Amino acid sequence: MLNVFTWIIHELSMEKDGLVIVYTGKGKGKTTAALGIALRATGYAKKTCMIQFIKGSWHYGEMYSSKRLEPEFEVVAIGKGFVGIIDDKSPKEEHERIAKEAIKISTEKIQSGKYDIVILDEINYAINLGLVKIEDVLNLIKSKPKELDLVLTGNYAKDEIIELADLVTEMREIKHPFQHGIKAKKGIDF
């Protein structure tokens, strides 16, 4: 019986077209779900690049675990560039410069042919904060290599993005320890 399942899974995995996957919603688990894909894919020596929008000076476990999963898993932080902008309301030109750079790096990674999976982490927030233009992200999605799986995370996913996606999951908050004053936990939240 197990062999039949293995065979079916193998046959299914012959599917070559990449997916556009969106994790959105208020509930916790969007970035964690994307990291789960990276972990799973690494098991098959698939290459994943996670590009972190927004996330800046704070430390996240994935920054360190990616080092352990090298060379299959790579994390790039664009967020550091945006941090000053979000905090100090920097001039519009500075905002546009970093946004351009962010899209350039994402395009390079997506088009490089080096990766099986690219994760644009928190990109939905970057769009909503006006840091990144929705048109640029729609172009990124439309021009991705056919085989590449592209994952976009962050709440408030725009309808246009949902429209282009193959898989959209909305995390719904039922309970969160934060509501009871329990602070973010190492290894669970960051």
For residue 58, the one-letter residue type is W
CB under 5 to 8 A by kind: which of Mg ion, ligand ATP, none does 90 bind?
Answer: none
Q: Distance between CA atoms of 118 and 106, rounded to whole angstroms?
A: 9
CB under 5 to 8 A by kind: which of ligand ATP, Mg ion, none does 63 bind?
Answer: none
Two tokens, residue 109: 């990674």
State the CB neighbour count (10 A cutoff) for residue 141: 18
Of positions 20, 21, 25, 31, contacts Mg ion by CB under 5 A:
31
**Crossing angle of the two packed helices 92-111 and 79-88, in degrees rounded to 10:** 160
Q: Of 164, 170, 114, give the one whose Cα is nearest residue 141.
A: 164
Q: Distance between CA atoms of 31 and 189, rounded to whole angstroms?
A: 10
Of positions 24, 30, 52, 115, contacts Mg ion by CB under 5 A:
30
Of positions 18, 19, 32, 103, contacts ligand ATP by CB under 6 A:
32
How big is the site for ligand ATP, counted in residues (CB under 6 A)? 17
Q: Distance between CA atoms of 48 and 151, rounded to whole angstroms?
A: 10
Of positions 28, 47, 133, 158, contacts ligand ATP by CB under 6 A:
28
Q: Distance between CA atoms of 113 and 121, rounded to whole angstroms?
A: 19
Two tokens, residue 80: 């550091």
CB under 5 to 8 A by kind: which of ligand ATP, Mg ion, none does 84 bind?
Answer: none
Query: Given the complex with ligand ATP, which of 86 and 97 has the nearer CB atom?
Result: 86
CB under 5 to 8 A by kind: which of Mg ion, ligand ATP, none does 40 bind?
Answer: none
- 122-181 residues near ligand ATP, rule: CB under 6 A: 122, 153, 155, 171, 173, 176, 178
Q: Residue 110 CB, nearest distance to ligand ATP (Å)? A: 21
Enter the DSSP assignment of 129.
Answer: T
- 103-132 residues near ligand ATP, rule: CB under 6 A: 122
Residues binding ligand ATP (CB under 6 A): 26-32, 122, 153, 155, 171, 173, 176, 178, 184, 189-190
